[in-house]
Structure 1
Amino acid sequence: MNYTKKIALSLTAAAFAMVVSPAFAAGGEIAVIVKTTNSNYWQNVQKGAAASAKDAKAYTMTFQGPASESAIADQVNMVENAVTRKVAGIVLAASDPDALIPALKKAWEAKIPVVLIDSMVSDAGKKYYQSFLSTDNEAAGEQSAKALISQVGKTGKIAIMSYVAGAGSEVGRVGGFKKYIEANSKLQIVGPYYSQSQMATALNQTTDVLAANPDLKGIFGANEPTAVGMGRAIVQAGKAGKIVAVGFDGNEDLKNFVKDGTLYATAVQGSYSMGSLGVKTVISLIEGKKVPAFVNTGVVIVTKANVDLPEAKNVLY
């Protein structure tokens, strides 16, 4: 059973057994709180959230995130402040699986419905939110590994450039990637290395990995800033087209890296859908309606072959 199926099964009873009584009449502020506002990925989440909020005339939306994904205490404060000002609902992408739980408990005690997007919290917090919308990160990691193996084969050396150790999305995504590689090839894995979702850090780490491993056949960058830094390092090292690189997420830089051959592929999440469906789901909860425990927002593997086709254009940002 994969990671997401386990989540869905563990949440189903809680999500459907718990009746969320609206704390307010329909309407009010929906607080969308993400891991950072300094990323095109999260800005695309904002676009989706804003579109749904615009359609829901009785509601207003606020959008917040820390300066970086590693500023976890700042995100905790944002959630606590939203509870204090008695928002109608919260849509949250949790930067840490444990640190946000006390703040989520406060929301639950205040009868403020919470929808998680992108990243899970640990089991201790499962009673404090009502729905989780995300990529099936384990499956996405597997798809990324398949794309890499299709080009490098089943022997040799590859590297993993990851982001924040222990983040819910990272555990599933990088775990799924490694699990597939180990089960289906004899590839040796170097890393993972953790960029803390800082592009410059990923660039420096990738530069060092390429220099220390001249026989490297492939490399995986597990989120947007990490993959962008990885791509830039590959270009600077003169390795574009000489090493098979697979990224994750789909901003303009990554799209261009696919087009020019720096990346063989990038796995692009439905970030717009996360924002859009996150707001729609929390509105349903505010209005006392039942919602699914888990919604898989999916990924598309974007390569030169499909980068200009609708299936890729609908998710690139």
Structure 2
Amino acid sequence: MKKLSVLAVVAATCALFSAYAQAAGGEIAVIVKSANSNYWQNVQKGATAAMGNAKGYTMTFQGPAAESAIADEVNMVENAVNRHVAGIVLAPSDPDALVPAMKKAWEAHIPVVLIDSMVSDSGKQYYQSFLSTDNTKAGELCAKAMIEAVGQTGKIAIMSYVPGAGSEIGRVGGFRKYIETHSKLQVVGPFYSQSQMATALNQTTDVLAANPDLKGIFGANEPTAVGMGRALQQSGKSGKVAAIGFDGNQDLQGFVRDGTIRAIAVQSSYQMGYKGIETVVSVIEKKPVQKQVDTGVMMVNKQNLDSPEAKNVLY
């Protein structure tokens, strides 16, 4: 009887140790809106760098072929839950569609850290921390730069990306509200590229042709702004229509350097990946984390393009 008791204690201790080991290690699934843009690949670079300090953990990184493939991202989260990952770092492509999958993670005691975009209020209990640019503030900064470029009157266009995405709501909403309250500018659009560069190029070409009196144009994310810049060049409107872009890949840096785009609002996508891993590891290991973290934004123009501060966020 005594022997059985000892064995029971040993078994219980082993089970406790195994549970702790599982809680303090394992797979971290990083799931983003698309695996195909430089912006999200820069998130991956930051996450990979942070894994160097995350002993005992492994990382997987994935995203749909396009940001509009919302069902594919939902499936990726559900698959991560089904394989019992230790934690999930998620950039939700839709504020509502990802909530049921996040709830499954919550029910399975798998922590979720959001980056880049928020979910709707119904999902707030299912994530532990949210790391992003303050997109409303970033949109306001872009609107301020636009007014400085074109003045108080005239016509401007908004080239947006995926309607309803959390970042899009804040970013374009912040831009529009600032324009409406601080100027008399007439707004054309928004037009939605679904985060497809070729679509943005075609849409911008059409907008420029239909509005020969256009004074300014805003491209609200990386593929949209790249398409916008190419359309301005192809139509001979570079430097003639004041363009403000968003994000900071090599194409956009080139547009700023040659004057096609006046300024770009650059998020620290690397920091989202890096801090996303740090934060989810802290949650797994029962360390306190902030519910919301602003990862910052910087307005980059020709004057500060080569500054150390800009190089820290450009990619």
Structure 2: gaps spanning 5 or more residues: 1-18
Write out the 4+ residue segments of structure 1 that deviate beyond 6 Å after TM superposition: none
Quick one: which of 97, 100, 104 aligns to 1:99? 97
Give the structure 2 partner of residue 233 of structure 1.
Answer: 231
Question: Which residue of the partner structure matches residue 242 of structure 2?
Answer: 244
SS at structure 2 position matched to 1:268: strand
Match of 1:290 in 2: 288
Higher-RCO chain (CA-CA 8 Å, sequence separation at least 6): 1
- Provide the TM-score with structure 1 as the length reference: 0.93
1:5-57, CA deviations, whole angstroms, 9 ceiling, x for partnerless residues?
xxxxxxxxxxxxxxxx9893311100000000010000000000000012212
For residues 54 and 228 of structure 1, the distance between their equivalents in structure 2, rounded to whole angstroms, comes to 33
Which residue number in structure 2 is paired with residue 134 of structure 1? 132
Deviation string, structure 1 residues 118-147 (Cα, Å, up to 9, x no partner)? 001100111110100000000000000111
Q: 1:23 to 1:146 in 2, by over 3 A?
A: farther
1:312 matched to which residue of 2? 310
Counterpart residue identity of residue 116, structure 2:
D
AA aligned opposite 1:315: V
CA distance in 2, matches of 1:62, 1:22: 21
Q: Secondary structure at the match of 1:300?
A: strand
Distance in 2, matches of 1:34 and 1:304, equals: 30
* Partner residue in 1 for 2:13: none
Q: Could you tell me whether the CA contact under 8 Å between 1:72 and 1:96 is conserved in 2?
A: yes
- The residue type equivalent to 1:73 in the other structure is A
Q: Is the 8 A contact 1:46 1:272 kept in 2?
A: yes
Contact 1:248 1:266 in 2 (8 A): yes
Superposed, which structure 2 residues align to 1:265-304 within 5 Å? 265-304=263-302
CA RMSD, 1 decimal: 1.1
Aligned to 1:153: 151
1:111/1:222 CA distance change after superposition, 3 Å: same
Partner residue of 1:201 out of 199, 202, 206? 199
1:162 is matched with 160
Partner AA of 1:206 in structure 2:
T
Q: Distance in 2 between matches of 1:135 and 1:202?
A: 23
Q: 1:79 aligns with which of 72, 77, 80?
A: 77
Q: How far apart, CA to CA, are the structure 1 residues paired with 2:80 and 2:307?
A: 40
Instruction: Tell me the residue number matched to 2:41.
Output: 43
Which of the residues 82, 88, 91 maps onto 1:90? 88
The higher radius of gyration belongs to: 2
Take 1:59 and 1:147, find their aligned partners in 2: how far apart are those partners?
43
Q: Specify the alignment match of 1:56 in structure 2.
A: 54
CA–CA distance in structure 1, aligned partners of residues 84 and 245 of structure 2:
39
CA contact (8 A) 1:134 1:296 kept: yes
- CA–CA distance in 2 between the matches of 1:200 and 1:286? 41
Whichever residue aligns with residue 260 of structure 2, its letter is T
- Aligned equivalents of 2:278, 2:300: Cα separation in 1: 27
Amino acid at match of 1:99: A
Q: What's the % identity of the aligned pairs?
A: 76
Distance 2:288 2:54 in 1: 18
- Whether the 8 Å CA contact 1:24–1:286 is kept in 2: the answer is no
Q: Which of 106, 128, 131 matches 1:108? A: 106
CA distance in structure 1 between the partners assigned to 2:21 and 2:260 by the alignment: 51
Structure 1 residue 311: deviation in Å? 1.1
Alignment of 1:187-198 (within 5 A): 187-198=185-196
Corresponding position of 2:212: 214
Residue ranges of structure 1 left out of the alignment (5+ in a row):
1-20
Amino acid at match of 2:187: I
Aligned pair count? 297
Task: Please give the alpha-carbon distance, in whole angstroms, between the structure 1 residues aligned to 2:91 and 2:232.
Answer: 30
Letter in 2 for 1:251: N
Match of 1:17 in 2: none
Instruction: State the AA in 2 paired with 1:119.
Output: S
**Partners of 1:22 and 1:285 within 8 A in 2:** no
